[in-house]
Structure 1
Amino acid sequence: MSGGWLDGYAVLITGGGAGLGRAVTERFLAEGASVTVFGRDKDQLDETVAAAPDPSRIHAVTGDVRDSERLHAAVAETVERFGKLDTLVANAGVWDYQRRLTRLGAEQLDTAFDEIFSINVKGYLLAAEAAWRELVKTRGSIVMTLSNASFYVNGGGPLYTASKHACLGLMRELAYELAPKVRVNGVACGGMNTDLRGPESLALGDRSISASFAKKGPDSAPPLIPLHDSSTDPRDFTGPYVLLAARDQSGPITGHAISVDGGIGVRGFAHAAGGDDL
């Protein structure tokens, strides 16, 4: 492949074996990059590698984003395999399925907070710590998967929303700390038909958003999203990742979040309050 925006790039993508992470992996490969996919599920990673058009440009590392040692191993293997690291895509995460405070007991809240923040926030920070030295060498970039919940309420429950607000702040802080050598940006995605799972601490580890879409039927749409008809496939969200990774296309951009949420910011108000039934 030649002529893509990421031709010759070496990229590490956490959560790259399924859902949005896999869609970004496939898009980056199509744009000419070599990609290391990192994730917990070896079978998913193996499927992603097997589906790649050029086996020489994809590598898989099994691990958990809460494990700094495995993240350092992924960075080292990327450099060993592809010679460098140009971009880290911090993407692995879990959703709380809008579990409201009033539906969480104290013990559930305690354990679910630790799990969601350790994956969604600490996982990004540990990945950045593992990668920044190599990214300085290439004057590379970090692209974080954010969410409409990084800006607006009701994109999740209090745990997910707080974690994604934290990721927005983390992205901005790292953009300051790593400048001028490394650019740090985010893609704030909206609802999509993907394999995003819930926290195991709430017995939601096997629940997938895509299964929920299937139950609603092909003609149903996420509510109150102006462009809902074009915001359901993860592949529709991958363009901004390419833009932010590509030096020639976004060299002056850092500390910025691109909202790719189907127009949630212009949806208007549906309800004055969420707790009228308390």
Structure 2
Amino acid sequence: MSTPTDPARWLEGDVALITGGGSGIGKAVALRYLAEGAKVAIIGRDQAKLDTVIAESGQPENMLGLVADVRDTDALHQAVASTVERFGKLDILVPNAGIWDFNRSVTRLSGKELSESFDELFSINVKGYLLAVEAAWPELVKSRGNVVMTLSNASFHTAGGGPVYTASKFAARGLVYQLAYELAPKVRVNGVAVGGMNTDLRGPESIGLSERSIGDSFARSTITGNNPLIPLHDSSVDPVDFTGSYVLFASRNNSSNITGQIIQADGGIGIRGFGDKAAGGDAL
């Protein structure tokens, strides 16, 4: 993974907590925040993955790996407490842990599968975000900090997933607006709606997709085929290329007057659409 060659140190002295920080965009944001001068705690369910990120960072003294499930409010409260105990405060929360439904159309799911995948996906992609904010907001109030949520092109457009994933990402978009309202003026809340990228994003265990990775399952052309910027920006499916917006929103000096906003860092998918990549495909 590439890293910024000349970071501006926009987050010097800040402390961040990132859920889903063991891989993908969460890992990329963690390493970018480190390069920008922050100390970073990462949450994940796999200690080995967290340890690998910390080892790769070259700054183990400025990182903390915390094993927790984002559906467990007690574990999230403990993660916040551990972060503050280690680094003294909390300035930035990045709710990021999520799963995808691999474009599983309603026409390809039984009622039982639909119900179970809905419960699992929403419990991680939506409730996990809300519980993370609930655990962190008192510390963020103390520091006049901020929240940067990972959203998706599916927060705005159809066919970035099936109906369950799309609904979860529209719900997370609503959380950005509602929580920005509730936590103002002391805590800013914004989001980054990322596009398709080459990560280890997995699917719901309830429908047998927990071992399937988006990076392994799709050719590069499938992930990026309708992305207008790919011909000129060949590396823009690497998670590191999405991290700049997270830095901007987290920076007090550069976005202190911005809240309730979402950057669509999706390579311009909104101006071209997904074309024949619709979730239903030829199912009907």
Q: TM-score, normalised by structure 2?
A: 0.92
Determine which of 78, 99, 104 is the counterpart of 1:99: 104
Cα deviations across residues 223-271 of structure 1 (Å, max 9, x unaligned)?
2111233431000000000000001011110000000001001115736
Determine which of 217, 226, 237 is the counterpart of 1:224: 226
Q: What amino acid is aligned across from residue 176 of structure 1 in structure 2?
A: Y
Determine whether 1:153 maps to 2:158.
Answer: yes
Aligned to 1:27: 32
**Helix, strand or coil for the counterpart of 1:259?**
strand
Structure 2: unaligned runs, 5 residues or longer? 1-5
Residues 107, 189 of structure 1: alpha-carbon distance in 2 compared, 3 angstrom cutoff = same
Determine which of 61, 64, 69 is the counterpart of 1:64: 69
Cα deviations across residues 189-245 of structure 1 (Å, max 9, x unaligned)?
0000011110101111011111124xx3x6776221112334310000000000000
Determine whether 1:124 maps to 2:105.
Answer: no
Structure 1: unaligned runs, 5 residues or longer? none
Residues 85, 105 of structure 1: alpha-carbon distance in 2 compared, 3 angstrom cutoff = same
Q: What amino acid is aligned across from residue 8 of structure 1 in structure 2?
A: G
**Helix, strand or coil for the counterpart of 1:196?**
coil
Q: What amino acid is aligned across from residue 148 of structure 1 in structure 2?
A: N
Does the 8 Å CA contact 1:191/1:231 hold for their aligned counterparts? no
Does the 8 Å CA contact 1:38/1:62 hold for their aligned counterparts? yes
Aligned to 2:57: 52
Does the 8 Å CA contact 1:37/1:61 hold for their aligned counterparts? yes
In 2: Cα distance, 1:27 partner to 1:86 partner: 16
Aligned to 1:141: 146
Determine which of 13, 29, 35 is the counterpart of 2:18: 13
Aligned to 2:180: 175
**Helix, strand or coil for the counterpart of 2:270?**
helix
Tell me by how many angstroms 1:149 deviates: 0.2
Does the 8 Å CA contact 1:190/1:231 hold for their aligned counterparts? no
Determine whether 1:184 maps to 2:198.
Answer: no
**Helix, strand or coil for the counterpart of 1:145?**
strand
Tell me by how many angstroms 1:276 deviates: 6.5
Cα deviations across residues 17-69 of structure 1 (Å, max 9, x unaligned)?
11111011110011010000000011100101111222110001101000011
Determine whether 1:76 maps to 2:78.
Answer: no
In 2: Cα distance, 1:68 partner to 1:136 partner: 19
Determine which of 257, 266, 269 is the counterpart of 1:261: 266
Q: TM-score, normalised by structure 1?
A: 0.94
What's the C-alpha RMSD, in Å, of the aligned pairs? 1.9
**Helix, strand or coil for the counterpart of 2:275?**
coil
Does the 8 Å CA contact 2:147/2:190 hold for their aligned counterparts? yes
**Helix, strand or coil for the counterpart of 1:227?**
coil
In 1: Cα distance, 2:282 partner to 2:80 partner: 49
Determine whether 1:163 maps to 2:168.
Answer: yes
Q: Give the fraction of aligned pairs with identical amino acids, expressed as a percent.
A: 62
Does the 8 Å CA contact 1:231/1:261 hold for their aligned counterparts? no
**Helix, strand or coil for the counterpart of 1:154?**
coil
Determine which of 187, 193, 202 is the counterpart of 1:197: 202
In 2: Cα distance, 1:263 partner to 1:2 partner: 25
Aligned to 2:3: none
User: How many residue pairs get matched?
Assistant: 275
